[in-house]
Structure formats: structure tokens, C-alpha cells
Amino acid sequence: MSRPEDTLPPDLFYNDAESRKYTTSSRIQKIQSDMTHRALSLLHLTRPSMILDVGCGSGLSGEILSASDAEGTPGGPHVWVGFDISASMLGIALEKEVEGDLFLADAGQGVPFRAGTFDAAISISAVQWLCNAESSEESPAGRLSRFFNGLYASLRRGGRAVCQFYPKNDEQKRMVSSAAVRAGFGAGLLEDDPATKSAKTYLVLTVGGGELEGDITGVVRGMEGIDVMDSRRRAKDRKRGDERKGSRAWILRKKEQMERKGKVVKANSKYTGRKRRVIF
């Protein structure tokens, strides 16, 4: 898969030609609209809301946000504000006369809105661009933390944000989600079609509030076809159960761990980790 963010900064990569290509390609339009609908279903909006679109580009997802409830946008029509770093993309959005307000801004420089402005935020295929820094004065971690801090402040309590992005590797996934957690969000990753070419990663962020249960596990409850893998709970369970070093449970876990790493591991049997009698 080609990664445009490795070649050029976003404001230069999305020049007039590339922006037009991006916006007129029916394939990209279809993918973008599917992802926007997926993100909207994760946001659970029930009434017309104020939404921030980070990296709105030419307004492909904005058009869906402005659509009414009857046209398939839950809780719509919403009022949205979008920003993007590429002037060419915004130029195309102007030509299309999208309804939202547009800004030319860099998400890595923060979110210039006062506290509690938005009910929700959505970002489609944009956050991976923040993992690159173009000058020595800034770092990817710094840009991510400024973005998530600003986003956290500008969302109202009980608000949600869904950021779909294309992580380069697991390390980048971890970097993005830990930056969000450090900003104060309840964060979780939802992966559609994992380990396929069309894998999509959604970072689901929640801002406190009683309307939902804490974090992503509350968000996806009741949705079909989703397996929850909660690494926190596993760690907690282990602490609670009395799994001593050298016990059968411990050995089985270690063997499983080694197997996952690709090491050759002897098969488990009834003798695995069994205690020898004293008499022996």
C-alpha cells in the first residue's frame, strides 16, 4: 500500500491535481462515505449537533453530515465546522458549496475553539498525517498531543470523537492512542476487517459524562459482529487470580506467549505443570 504521508507534507501533496483526483474518484468517494457512516454510527447522535470535521478535505464527509435524518444521517442535519491544511482541497470544497464553515489550519497546531464547543468530532483518514513532523522545531508526539489536548478541550462533556486513520504499524497505532489517553480521553480502537487489505482503524474517543459507559466498550455494546479485546481487564484478572510463578496456569500462559511469538512449543498434556509427589 502506498503511503502518501511518507512522500510529502499534506499541504504540498494535496495540490490542485491530486485534490481533484481524490475528490472525483468514485472509488475513494465510496470508501469515504462508508467510513463516515460507520463513524456516525459510533457517534450515536440523536439530535442536530455541532460537529468538528478534522481534515475535512473537499467536504466528502461534510456532505453526509449536512444530510437530513431521512437521507440516512442519524440525528441530522448537523451543523459542522471543518478544517484542513490543504488549500487546494478547500478550494474544491468551495466549488461544491458545502454547508459547513471551512478553515485553513493545521490540526497539529491545536484546535482553536473555546471549551465545550462541539457535541462530536469526526476525522476521516487524517490523523496519520500528524505522525510526521516537517521541521526540527516540532515532533510527531508534540503535534499529536497538541491536537488531542485541543480536541479534548473543545468537546463538551459526554461528547465523542471518532478518528478513522491508517496506521503504518502497531507502534504508530500505540503512539496515537496513548497520546489521546494522555489528553484525558477514554480511548479505544475499533478495527474493521482486520488483517485484510481493506482494514480500517477507528479511534473512538469519549469525554467523561454519564450518557455512556466510560469508553469504547460502552460505545460498541449492542453492535453486531464485534469482539471486545480488553487488555486492561486481562491484566486485572491476572492480578486477582492467584497465579504464582511456576504454577500450571503460569506455565500455560508462558507457553501460549511463546507460541504467539512463533517459537516451537511442546504440546500441552495432562502432565504439563503437574506436581511431583513427595514420594517420588
Partner 1 sequence: MKILTLNFLTCARKLCKSSNTAFPLHPKEADLEIVETEINVLFLKNIMGRLMWEELKGVVGELGLPDLPPTPPEPETLVETKLQAPEGDNTGLNIEKAEVPSQIAKDLHRVLLETCVKEGKLVCGNCGHEYAVREGIANFLLPGHLV
Contact footprint for partner 1 (CB under 8 A): 47-50, 77-79, 81, 83, 85, 90, 94, 99, 101-106, 109-110, 112-114, 116-117, 119, 135, 137-138, 156
Cβ 127 to partner 1, closest distance in Å? Answer: 18
Cβ 137 to partner 1, closest distance in Å? Answer: 6
Task: Give 50 or 251: the residue with its C-beta nearer to partner 1.
Answer: 50
Letter string b/e over residues 42-56, b meaning 16 or more CB atoms within 10 A of that residue's CB: bbebeeebbbbbbbb
Task: Give 183 or 190: the residue with its C-beta nearer to partner 1.
Answer: 183
Cβ 205 to partner 1, closest distance in Å? Answer: 19
Cβ 179 to partner 1, closest distance in Å? Answer: 17
Task: Give 105 or 252: the residue with its C-beta nearer to partner 1.
Answer: 105
Contact between residue 104 and residue 83 where contact means Cβ atoms under 8 Å apart: yes
Cβ 120 to partner 1, closest distance in Å? Answer: 12
Task: Give 112 or 241: the residue with its C-beta nearer to partner 1.
Answer: 112
Task: Give 137 or 242: the residue with its C-beta nearer to partner 1.
Answer: 137
Question: What is the distance between the alpha carbons of residues 175 and 164, in angstroms, rounded to a whole number?
Answer: 15
Question: What is the distance between the alpha carbons of residues 208 and 227, in angstroms, rounded to a whole number?
Answer: 23
Residue 161's nearest CA partner among 210, 109, 219, 217 is 219
Q: Which long-range contacts (CB under 8 A, 24 or more apart) does 233-241 make?
A: none
Residue 237: CB atoms within 10 Å: 11
